[in-house]
Chains A and B, each alone.
Chain A
């Protein structure tokens, strides 16, 4: 799956993890992936494929939802992180931006950003980083005094991302940044992801349903179905893969086809057999 040279600068490695919710519901059935430093890695798949669960398993936000990793291991910089609480992980440089933004509604935009720096005590540097976030998200500077709950969906996504940036992370786990946003805004959000990745050297693991956009901005992709990784490869490769084209990008060699004809049959044949 991965060549040996790449393994060395992998920041994050997930080895064959299984996640069970409420002691009974098996959601991940052995997911393995690696995230190389300084890259954007995309986690693709439909609803219920296990993308969010994978991210939450890494950031250890599962516990508060009564989920647990029952098998496998998660290594960050070669170190097991399964027992660390989210706060310790944030200090290590891993922060998650949750699906659906999750801004602190009654706090102002700027207060939201400042909570992102909760684990830091170097106030001068925090102030500098606030400026840095405003550079990446000029819109937030205009709205710094508004209550986050009253900002638009796109602005809230920016708040959530900016808040994560304020922790000076090495890795951001970005869950479904395109959710509920207009195509133009989605594009803009991904442009910023790319800019942060290149400008600050932040590594991204992003879960996304919008395969088209994700594969254009990511370096590498994993496709998840039903709690398993069914395919992975360089983003450019995946974009050209006929199955990905057909199932996730809605194209095929013979032009557009009706989903009714192809979807269930070929998918089952190829991946679940």
Chain B
């Protein structure tokens, strides 16, 4: 019996981890849908957003190392700190600014080019952003605390202990992450289904030329989509940053988003969510049941092997856009 409870606890924790994966995958899907660009820089955007958030909250002087090295000064921090809400808003502003700069300097000049060229541009962008983050805010590991509750939830542990005689260990941060992710997805879906700009976004995703012909400005839509993706990256950055610190490895969560996308389909918002949950739960359960037999550490590869299997049998993913073909 205990084994069963333990397994369901693993399952629930897997769901929570999956939500985190979904958040990152979501950013990819948004940009891919609207512009056909696979944005390699999505993970780095999450890192950059988290770095900026920490920097703003702590009142760090941007580029302080560079300034100090050039002018021999000893700047490091302003005399103020900023509250989390204001800092998050400011960071969101920075992400919008970033979207505008990316559109003006990169995307605009590559209109009508092959997807592979746009993809390579985003690889360049990823390295550039990584460096920019370092130079702006320093390369040290930072802790991020925006006031989200953390640690094991005692209430749940007690309640489940009373009901089942087995206390579930669930991190409160995971619960909040789930709630926030659900709200974010609901907001995104509502936006794309029921607003004029959302409709235009889907129109652009379907057919660039036709969207242009009815007077939709691709530039504007792209800036909007990259801003939204930047905001999603910020949310993902906050969650992951709170969980495991803001450092370079944060950008690597993008690698976990890849199998999520292959599973869920590159073009589907629900796919990103379900894909993330499947991978999260799958890798935790696999580790729990099969891990001990093969010496553990299955979490490192499970997602990729699953993705590989999917690529062979269902390349468009679970929810990938059916290609509409009229005969």
Contacts and interface: CB of A to CB of B under 8 A. Distances in A.
**Co-complex (A, B):** yes
Contacts of B187: none
B215 A119 contact: yes
Contacts, number: 87
B324 interface: yes
A96 B213 contact: yes
A160 B213 CA distance: 10
B148 interface: no
B202 A91 contact: no
B109 interface: no
18 contacts: A59-B213, A61-B209, A64-B111, A86-B213, A86-B215, A87-B212, A95-B215, A103-B210, A104-B207, A104-B210, A105-B206, A105-B324, A114-B196, A115-B203, A115-B216, A118-B215, A119-B215, A147-B324
B206 A98 contact: no
Given A102-B210, A149-B326, 10 more contacts: A91-B215, A95-B213, A96-B213, A97-B213, A106-B321, A112-B203, A118-B196, A119-B215, A153-B326, A167-B214
B314 interface: no
Contacts of B208: 64
Contacts of B324: 105-106, 147, 149-150
A66 B112 contact: yes
A106 B206 contact: yes
Nearest to B208: A64
A118 B203 CA distance: 11
B209 A115 contact: no
Contacts of B203: 104, 107, 112, 115
B185 interface: no
Interface of A: 59, 61, 63-66, 85-87, 89-91, 95-98, 102-107, 111-112, 114-116, 118-119, 147, 149-150, 152-153, 160, 163-164, 167
Interface string B165-205: 00000000000000000000000000000001001101101
Contact of A98 (B111, B202, B209, B326): B209
Contacts of A91: 215
Nearest to A126: B196
B136 interface: no
Say which size band chain B's interface belongs to.
20 to 34
Contacts of B205: 106
A89 B213 CA distance: 9
A111 B216 contact: no
A23 to B, nearest CB: 14
A163 B214 contact: yes
A65 B205 CA distance: 17
Contacts of A61: 209, 212-213
A63 B215 CA distance: 14
A172 to B, nearest CB: 11
Given A104-B210, A167-B215, A150 B326 contact: yes
For chain B, what secondary structure do more than half of its interface residues adopt (helix, strand, loop), or is it mixed? helix
B244 interface: no
B199 A114 contact: yes
B214 A115 contact: yes
B152 to A, nearest CB: 44
A102 B326 CA distance: 14
A109 to B, nearest CB: 13
Nearest to A96: B213
Contacts of A115: 199-200, 203, 211, 214, 216
Contact of A85 (B207, B214, B217, B326): B217
Contact of A107 (B111, B196, B206, B209): B206
A95 to B, nearest CB: 7
Contacts of A63: 111
Contacts of B210: 98, 102-104, 160
Contacts of B321: 106
Interface centre among A64, A153, A167 (most CB of B within 10 A): A64
Interface string B227-258: 00000000000000000000000000000000
B205 to A, nearest CB: 8
B214 A95 contact: yes
Contacts of B112: 64-66
A127 B56 CA distance: 46
A102 B321 CA distance: 18
B111 A118 contact: no
B215 A87 contact: yes
Contacts of A103: 207, 210
A95 B212 CA distance: 10
Contact of B202 (A107, A150, A153): A107
Given A64-B112, A64-B208, A64-B209, A106 B202 contact: yes
Contacts of B202: 104, 106-107, 111
Q: Give the top 5 A-B pairs by smallest Cβ distance, nearest first.
A: A90-B215, A149-B324, A102-B210, A104-B206, A119-B215
Interface centre among A86, A114, A116 (most CB of B within 10 A): A86
B213 A118 contact: no
Contacts of A105: 206-207, 324
B294 to A, nearest CB: 43
A226 B214 CA distance: 29
Nearest to A85: B217
Given A66-B112, A105-B324, A118 B200 contact: yes
Interface string B298-318: 000000000000000000000
A87 B216 contact: yes
Nearest to B197: A118
A98 B213 contact: yes
B29 to A, nearest CB: 14
